[in-house]
């Protein structure tokens, strides 16, 4: 642990740190606390803010022990002792089970967020605070910039947003993105609070550690200004793209995307490019935008009459007609799955099926053989080729359409894979426009004023 000197002075005002966050209506808030300087400073700043107000949500500190280092259990106990001294509720949650041999960092992060969301649900809150700092933001920018070429991936250069919605349910909020690690450590020294040092932060086998070393030769203020510009550009393009979607696109039965061609061709190219990427991702059940070259080819297909009228991109068929362009899921590689009792699953990245019955249920594409099931169940078929990839349930020895009535205990919802698992606060308005045209439930509003919170 780092031993704090006693001559440091504070320069952080909790009211300023949290001014963009709306805590109204929350009975509690979860704070992710690892024992490192960033998360401990976040915890003490929040506790100071809460103590200064006549009413404030209960603070619940949660430490995730990934079980990857021998020191992690003691670090969790140290955080628990600090919380007990401060009168703050604390929980330690463990990432149990075997650890993956590859992709460990990404899977550990997913496990961490899953456990934090679980803690938030149990606490009756939809807000989790994390201690990501300006240093983390700059490092993230540099890591992404080394991997970004032409195309939609450049959107990642906006860095981490001040808030991210997980699984349509929990807002992950980052109040410290404009504050340096040095400033946070100075705050802890002033309070005579020690923090734990993670030895992996010095291991050059990790990309972030190598980037951190390289940052010694970069102008951090210049990089931060660039991140803010990228965030502004991303928000602006999102607004223009949302206008294109609302003005030019209709969706039938959650399956068939129809682009009004004349109106579409009158829109600016950048907004078209993002819009076609969004439509291909949602119609094809993808969590990420397609590559930029795919979007460019799709735009060319929409605009050019002498190209073949039908083509395939990103698991979707594009069918160009005189007045419109149709987009729908192709039948290739559509899965068939079984959902066990009391389980929920995402099928084909397009539908979420919740099975709260006592028996398993199968899910598969309708196909030619299932079209009569859709007709018998009065499920509208606006386009036969699009209906082939519609989901049907295998319930015992019967194939069941989604309307007019599902078996009791089973619910089916249209899933927007691009946004429903992880929704960056930058993309909130864009995601809402997609929810509108697909006629699904909208997204809960962010508790953070995103502007200038990079």
Q: How many domains does the chain have?
A: 2
Question: Residue 447 corresponds to which tokens in the numbers above?
Answer: 């508790």
Report if residue 442 sits inside a domain: no
| Strand 256-260 relative to strand 249-252, pairing | antiparallel
H/E stretch holding 339: strand 337-339
List, in order, residues 6 or more apart from 182 with CB less than 8 Å away. none
Coil, strand or helix at 380? coil
List, in order, residues 6 or more apart from 200 with CB less than 8 Å away. 69, 206, 209
Q: How many CB atoms lie within 10 A of CB 52?
A: 10
Task: Verify that 210 and 341 share a domain, yes or no.
Answer: no
Which of 175, 197, 218 delimits the end of a domain?
218
CA distances from 124 to 103, 175, 184, 278, 310 (A): 32, 21, 29, 33, 49
Report if residue 298 sits inside a domain: no
Report if residue 245 sits inside a domain: no
Strand arrangement, sheet containing 170-173: 89-94, 58-65, 28-32, 127-129, 170-173, 163-166, 422-424
Q: How many CB atoms lie within 10 A of CB 148?
A: 15
Report if residue 199 sits inside a domain: yes
CATH at residue 162: 3.40.50.620
- pLDDT tens by residue, the chain, 454 residues: 544 444 444 579 999 999 999 999 999 999 999 999 999 999 999 999 999 999 999 999 999 999 888 899 999 999 999 999 999 999 999 999 888 888 888 899 999 999 999 999 999 999 999 999 999 999 888 888 877 543 445 798 999 999 999 999 999 999 999 999 999 999 999 999 999 987 666 666 666 667 776 677 678 888 899 999 999 999 999 999 999 999 999 999 999 999 999 999 999 999 999 999 999 999 999 999 999 999 999 999 999 998 889 999 999 999 999 999 999 999 999 999 999 999 999 999 999 999 999 999 999 999 988 887 766 655 556 788 999 999 999 999 888 888 777 899 999 999 999 999 999 999 999 999 999 999 999 999 999 986 545 5
Report how far residue 398's alpha carbon sits from residue 393's, in angstroms, rounded to the nearest whole number: 8
Its domain, for residue 407, covers: 337-414
Q: What is the CA radius of gyration of the chain?
A: 25
Question: Residue 170 corresponds to which tokens in the numbers above?
Answer: 């929990």
Q: Could you tell me which of 107, 129, 167, 157 has the C-alpha nearest to residue 38? A: 129
Question: Residue 281 corresponds to which tokens in the numbers above?
Answer: 């991702």
Task: Verify that 213 and 354 share a domain, yes or no.
Answer: no
Report how far residue 24's alpha carbon sits from residue 109's, in angstroms, rounded to the nearest whole number: 28
Question: Residue 356 corresponds to which tokens in the numbers above?
Answer: 């709260």
Task: Verify that 213 and 352 share a domain, yes or no.
Answer: no
Task: Verify that 52 and 182 share a domain, yes or no.
Answer: yes
């Amino acid at each position: 642990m780092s031993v704090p000197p006693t001559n440091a002075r504070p320069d952080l005002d909790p009211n300023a740190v949290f001014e963009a966050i709306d805590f109204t209506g929350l009975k509690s808030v979860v704070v992710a606390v690892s024992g490192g300087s960033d998360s401990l400073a976040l915890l003490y700043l929040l506790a100071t803010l809460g103590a200064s107000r006549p009413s404030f949500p209960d603070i619940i500190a949660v430490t995730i022990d990934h079980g990857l280092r021998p020191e992690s259990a003691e670090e969790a106990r140290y955080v628990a002792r600090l919380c007990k001294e401060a009168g703050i509720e604390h929980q330690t949650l463990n990432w149990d089970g075997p650890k993956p041999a590859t992709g460990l960092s990404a899977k550990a992060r997913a496990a961490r967020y899953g456990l934090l969301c679980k803690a938030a649900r149990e606490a009756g809150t939809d807000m989790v605070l994390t201690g990501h700092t300006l240093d983390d933001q700059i490092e993230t920018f540099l890591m992404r910039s080394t991997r970004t070429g032409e195309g939609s991936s450049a959107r990642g250069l906006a860095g981490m947003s001040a808030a991210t919605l997980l699984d349509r349910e929990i807002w992950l909020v980052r109040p410290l993105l404009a504050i340096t690690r040095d400033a946070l450590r100075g705050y802890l020294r002033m309070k005579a609070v020690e923090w734990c040092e993670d030895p992996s932060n010095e291991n050059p086998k990790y990309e972030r550690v190598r980037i951190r070393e390289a940052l010694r030769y970069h102008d951090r203020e210049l990089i931060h200004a660039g991140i803010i510009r990228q965030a502004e550009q991303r928000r602006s393009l999102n607004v223009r793209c949302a206008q294109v979607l609302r003005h030019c696109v209709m969706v039938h039965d959650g399956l068939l995307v129809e682009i009004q061609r004349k109106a579409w061709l009158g829109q600016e190219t950048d907004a078209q490019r993002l819009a076609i990427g969004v439509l291909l991702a949602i119609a094809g059940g993808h969590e990420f935008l397609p590559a930029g070259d795919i979007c460019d080819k799709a735009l060319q297909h929409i605009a050019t009459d002498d190209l073949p009228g039908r083509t395939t991109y990103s698991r979707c068929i594009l069918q160009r007609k005189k007045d419109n362009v149709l987009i729908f899921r192709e039948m290739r590689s559509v899965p068939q799955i079984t959902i066990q009792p009391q389980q929920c699953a995402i099928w084909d990245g397009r539908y979420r099926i919740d099975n709260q019955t006592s028996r398993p249920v199968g899910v598969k594409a309708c196909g030619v053989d299932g079209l009569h099931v859709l007709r018998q169940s009065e499920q509208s078929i606006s386009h036969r080729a699009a209906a082939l990839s519609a989901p049907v349930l295998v319930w015992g020895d019967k194939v069941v359409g989604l309307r007019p009535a599902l078996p009791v205990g089973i619910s089916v919802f249209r899933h927007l894979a691009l946004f429903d698992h992880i929704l960056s606060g930058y993309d909130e308005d864009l995601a809402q426009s997609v929810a509108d045209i697909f006629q699904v439930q909208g997204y809960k509003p962010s508790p953070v004023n995103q502007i200038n919170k990079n």
